[in-house]
Amino acid sequence: MATKTKKRIGVHVGTAGGVWTAVDRAVAAGANTFQIFSASPRMWKAPAVKPADAAKLAELRAKHDVGPVVIHANYLINVCSQTDAVRANSIAAFRGEVERALALKAEFLVLHPGSWKGLTREEGLRLAAESIEQAVDGIDFSGKDFRLLIENTAGAEFSLGGKLEQVAELVEQLKSHLPVAVCLDTCHVHVSGYDIVTTDGYIETMKLVDSTVGSDAVKVWHCNDAKAAMGSKLDRHEHIGEGTIGAEAFRRLLHDDRFSHCAFIAETPVDAPGDEARNVGVLRTLAAG
């Protein structure tokens, strides 16, 4: 894996032309880590990874010292759905995500926990854990540099993970079944009602991170500014420093020693050519200053 002493700042990139092309896109954007979809994020089924593709990805990663590689799971997956058919499809799709992540030697696979609409919060949490456990049944994780990352959500009604305590509870239920940790999204933190903008708010929010999921368990920060107000529960990403979070909050995060082990990956809009590089550049500038 890439050297851990160097701050890892990257961006979500496409894989058109082959999964290995993501490395060149990341490097062109000034990134030394990246996130991808391992298949279409809006289709239930996907082909297995070709060994030659995985080998070429590994070769380019080593050449450019790029990593960790983060895969974001399919948007259709809802492991706590009250609907049996949706949950069955989600379990099968999530197993495919894990298998592809392992084949590509990705260090992290990020999952949104889903929506428990029609159920109680406790039922949703139980179903999410059971579905994930069922999906990974029989998969051998021993000796592999891999973790499933549960991501916090924007806090919409019935959305599991809108509270840090919910993320912590799901991780606790899963940790005996597979290697699991946490991904936090700055936009989601902000719009779900946690203050990371003011100095005092940031201090209190990170104390809560420490006391719930634990700072050590956070392996990836999705660095996204927000179009919507704090507490709005609207998941709308904005370019770094141009939204309701603002540049100073990202500077504070990037200099926070509790997260020095993390990868910081932008999922910001691509409104024009070069936007990936622009947002990576802003994060690098903030990390340096």
Strand partners, 36: 71
Q: Which of 12, 25, 72, 251 is catalytic?
A: 72
Q: Which of 25, 237, 251, 278 is catalytic?
A: 237
Q: Is 177 a catalytic residue?
A: no
Q: Which of 130, 195, 267, 275 is catalytic?
A: 267
Q: Is 237 a catalytic residue?
A: yes
Residues 6+ apart with CB under 8 A from 62: none
- Rounded CA gap, 160 and 128, in Å? 9
Q: Which of 107, 225, 235, 238 is catalytic?
A: 235
Q: Is 267 a catalytic residue?
A: yes
Q: Is 235 a catalytic residue?
A: yes
Q: Is 112 a catalytic residue?
A: yes
- Rounded CA gap, 99 and 141, in Å? 11
* The pair of three-digit structure tokens given for residue 73, joined into one six-digit string: 């799971």
- Rounded CA gap, 96 and 8, in Å? 27
Q: Which of 112, 147, 239, 251 is catalytic?
A: 112
- Could you tell me whether strands 147-151 and 108-111 are parallel, antiparallel, or unpaired per DSSP bridges? parallel
Residues 6+ apart with CB under 8 A from 139: 95, 98, 99, 102, 178
Q: Which of 169, 185, 225, 238 is catalytic?
A: 185
Residue 152 DSSP one-character state: P
Q: Which of 59, 75, 122, 261 is catalytic?
A: 75
Strand partners, 12: 35
Q: Which of 8, 25, 100, 151 is catalytic?
A: 151
Q: Is 222 a catalytic residue?
A: yes
Catalytic residue annotation: 42, 72, 75, 112, 151, 185, 188, 222, 235, 237, 267
